Structure 1
Amino acid sequence: MKKKSILSLIIAMFLSSNIAFAQQSDKVYLTADEVPNAVYWLPSPPAPGSSQFMYDISQYYWGKQQRLDTLRAQKAIREAAYEVADMVPQFCSAFGMEISKQKTPAIYKVVERAVLTIRLSATKPKATYMRKRPYVYFNEPTLVPAEEEELRTNGSYPSGHTVRGWGMALLLCEINPAAQDALFKLGYEWGQSRVIAGFHWQSDVDASRMLAAACYARLHTCKPFLDDMAAAKKEFEKLSR
């Protein structure tokens, strides 16, 4: 089998396995083909030797320096959380209200389904570029050793964690605009934590924020999302009173 054919097969297998989970109708608002296709409109990751890649390298060393700050390192480890159920509790303080399936079912529902939808938009570019992660490139440890083996063969560009974190900040800000500054600060730091932990290049993180924003805009053309968001806002207003 030719090298190109093998690569095409690998990409197809990667897409099918990732899309199958996230594309269940009860979990997402849009399919993988309906969310913005980043392969078409986002630039490809910086090429080794380019000035952009040199910046990525300098940010990798910046991230290692941040690990010397124990509190910041611990924060980066906490923000390695990937599942919505593990992320939501970390956003409650910035949001100004406890978010849970029991106490805020409408808010939790729209956040969960929308974040999973936004995350789906990273699948195609990850499979297409299969960029080597910084800890693999430098053959150095990360802040979360238990995840290194699994992510070694998972593309670095864009960052799925950043897409989720920035997407969650956007969603919660729409529900509670008064908390916008705290939410966006947390959402931004969530992405930087991936650089600090050693799992992503800075350009991965920067691209992910653009991708999350594009998918967030696309969600506003989806009636089920708009209906759920309206219910979430109504629930927030009621609980705030």
Structure 2
Amino acid sequence: MPSIRPLALAALLPLLGACASSGSSTAASSPVPELKPGVPAGYLGRDLPDSLALLPAPPAPGSAAFANDEAVHAAAQRLRDTPRYAQATRDADLSFPAASDNFACALGVPIDAQATPRLYMLLRRTMVDAGLGTYGAKNQYQRVRPFMLHEEHTCLARDEEALRKDGSYPSGHTAIGWTWAMVLTQVAPARANALLARGRQFGESRLVCNAHWQSDVLEGRAVASGVFAKLQGNADFLADVAAARKEVAARQAAGATPTGCETEAAALATPVPGVL
């Protein structure tokens, strides 16, 4: 998809730039290509799903679908100053290791560059694929985000400048979180229920953060499904899944457990009002 890739990279890299600070010791079967120093490329290259072809146009202002988006936005903003808002703020951070920590409780083992290097790199590379996969539609529609329309703020002020230049539809964070949930389920099938629930909650955090409309989140999952399907035909991805599966099994056998899971579970027990 050569027509969208330069624009997509220009928009996505500011949001991913912090991940360059971690993971340099990650082992892999072969050298990993980089988008810039410290930021690994995805697995798919230009073989991404075309989100513009996959998705309908976003809800038009004045439509019933947009009225529903507005209603969910208003309901989600009532969660400010709650533990669910604090968790949404943590979910907004795509830098590593913070991003991978958000799925450790659902996986049941810690995720880090030292003890689980192939898993760590698997998440970093699939993040790029999922994020870039949204840009056919993002660049076409340039949908205004709810915090911009309502002259409000998001839960992570440092990202707002980049978000203002980045279309709202579909949600890149949701595409990343749902892709991770499916990839981790492939790594640890016994944890599928917890992982898929966490992937859904990760996307819903974008509603709480005031960064996306509900329709952005729903269609972010559709893009993630396309990315995941494409990954199944990529030999490097499948090799990293197999290696990550062994790493997780070794950590389970060693009794390694993530921290902060009770706090996370309590925060996520609060439903986001009105979501489908």
State the secondary structure of the residue aligned to 2:208: helix
Instruction: Say if 1:57 and 1:85 are closer, same or farther in 2 by CA, change over 3 A.
Output: same
Give the whole-Å Cα distance in 1 for the aligned partners of 2:141 and 2:75.
Answer: 25
Asked if 1:36 is matched to 2:29, the reply is no
Deviations 1:137-163 (A, max 9, x none): 111233333332331121101111111
**Where do residues 51-62 of structure 1 align in structure 2 (5 Å cutoff)?**
51-62=64-75
Deviations 1:81-115 (A, max 9, x none): 12343210121111111111100112112222122
Normalising by structure 1, we get a TM-score of 0.87
Give the whole-Å Cα distance in 2 for the aligned partners of 1:167 and 1:119.
Answer: 10
Normalising by structure 2, we get a TM-score of 0.76
Higher mean displacement: 217-226 or 143-152: 143-152
Give the whole-Å Cα distance in 2 for the aligned partners of 1:107 and 1:210.
Answer: 24
Asked if 1:71 is matched to 2:101, the reply is no
Instruction: Say if 1:64 and 1:16 are closer, same or farther in 2 by CA, change over 3 A.
Output: closer
The one-letter amino acid of 2:153's match is P
Alignment-derived partner of residue 47 in structure 1: 60
Instruction: Say if 1:15 and 1:114 are closer, same or farther in 2 by CA, change over 3 A.
Output: closer
Alignment-derived partner of residue 17 in structure 1: 10
Alignment-derived partner of residue 168 in structure 1: 180
Give the conservation status (yes or no) of the 8 Å contact 2:145–2:164: yes
Deviations 1:34-84 (A, max 9, x none): 11001012111111111111110011011112225x111111111111234
What do you get for the CA RMSD once the two structures are aligned?
2.2
Give the conservation status (yes or no) of the 8 Å contact 2:109–2:251: no
* Structure 1 residue ranges without an equivalent (≥5): 1-10
Give the conservation status (yes or no) of the 8 Å contact 2:5–2:132: no
Please state which structure has a larger fraction of its residues in helix: 1
Instruction: Say if 1:198 and 1:18 are closer, same or farther in 2 by CA, change over 3 A.
Output: closer
Give the conservation status (yes or no) of the 8 Å contact 1:172–1:183: yes
Asked if 1:136 is matched to 2:148, the reply is yes
Shift of 1:186: 1.5
Question: How many residues end up aligned between the 2 structures?
Answer: 229
Shift of 1:18: 4.4
**Where do residues 144-159 of structure 1 align in structure 2 (5 Å cutoff)?**
144-159=156-171
Alignment-derived partner of residue 134 in structure 2: 122
State the secondary structure of the residue aligned to 2:103: helix
Give the conservation status (yes or no) of the 8 Å contact 1:19–1:123: no
The one-letter amino acid of 1:131's match is R
| Percent identity for Structure 1 against Structure 2 | 34
State the secondary structure of the residue aligned to 2:148: helix
Give the whole-Å Cα distance in 2 for the aligned partners of 1:145 and 1:218.
Answer: 34
State the secondary structure of the residue aligned to 2:92: coil
Give the whole-Å Cα distance in 2 for the aligned partners of 1:162 and 1:15.
Answer: 16
State the secondary structure of the residue aligned to 2:97: helix
Shift of 1:19: 7.5
Higher mean displacement: 107-116 or 35-44: 107-116
**Where do residues 174-213 of structure 1 align in structure 2 (5 Å cutoff)?**
174-213=186-225
Deviations 1:154-183 (A, max 9, x none): 110111111111111111111111211221
